[in-house]
Amino acid sequence: MDLNVFREGIKIDENNTNAFMKLMYKSAVGRFLLKPVTAVWVSKASRIFLDSRFSKPMIEKYVREYNIDLSQCEKSSFKSFNDFFTRKLKTGYRDFDMTPSVLCSPCDCKLTVYKIDEDSVFNIKDVSYTIAELLKSNKLSKKYKDGWCFIYRLSPNDYHRYSYIDNGVKTRNCYINGVLHTVQPIAVNRIKVFKQNCREFCMLKTENFGDVIQIEVGALCVGKISNLHEKHRYKRGEEKGMFEFGGSTIIQLFEKDTVMPDSDIFMNTIDSKETPIKLGEHIGKKL
């Protein structure tokens, strides 16, 4: 893309949230019901249905509602809704810029970026997170003070496969148990969703961007985070994994003086806007 083009952000507007989510997160009755609704077993039960042939009738309506172009997919016939949702695109529809100094997005998303302060804290609206809370590790927390936090929010209509951002070596996956709140702004702006939700993280020892922590965060109706590898030597743009149905989030933590996010993305974040991004699109540069 032309790096001089300013990408317009989308205002983070809770009024666009559906009625069910408003009930859950903005009413006393909904808050009372949150505990059972966000329990992991609820999403796992949903997944059993979405993995079955009985979920196939949902596909046609979903394609119409989100204007999904099935001609881009490797196949056009699916055995279940989740088979459709985790569909793979043909070569050429999500290409990485292979320039070593270019930081590309690992996924389709709505992107925001936040500076991590000297206390290893970043703030989303009125919600503060410490890196130690996210990773359950004080040692790792210190490594990322004064760095950057990139938050990639995937909506249901996004492509739900994600890729490695550079050549390098990854550590084993570390799973942290929790609940499954929605990752829509109505929840993120009120409670510590990323601290409470089930999540899985690893360290990506990259050739060009330092030691990057990548965290995949599950969400309501997402009963499974499917990473393809444990310890693994990877290539830039290689597929890393996928989410099953629903919204979900990827968080990446970068050390101090390793990357600089594109100015339009940072300015959109300051203006309480998310920047729509496709997998492989330029989002920053190596320092």
CB 199 within 8 A of CB 217: yes
CB 147 within 8 A of CB 116: yes
Residue pointed to by tokens 């290409």: 95
Please enumerate in sequence order all residues whose Cβ is within 8 A of that of 92, keeping only pairs 6 or more positions apart, or say none.
none
Q: d(Cα 212, Cα 235) in Å, to the nearest integer? A: 15
DSSP 27-84: SHHHHHHHHHHTSHHHHHHHHHHHTSGGGTHHHHHHHHHHT--GGGBS-S--SSHHHH
What are the percentages of helix, strand and coil residues in the chain, rounded to 5? 30, 30, 40
Tokens of 252: 């990446």
Q: d(Cα 97, Cα 236) in Å, to the nearest integer? A: 9
Residues serving a catalytic function are 108, 248
Residue pointed to by tokens 């999403």: 43
For residue 162, what is the DSSP state? E
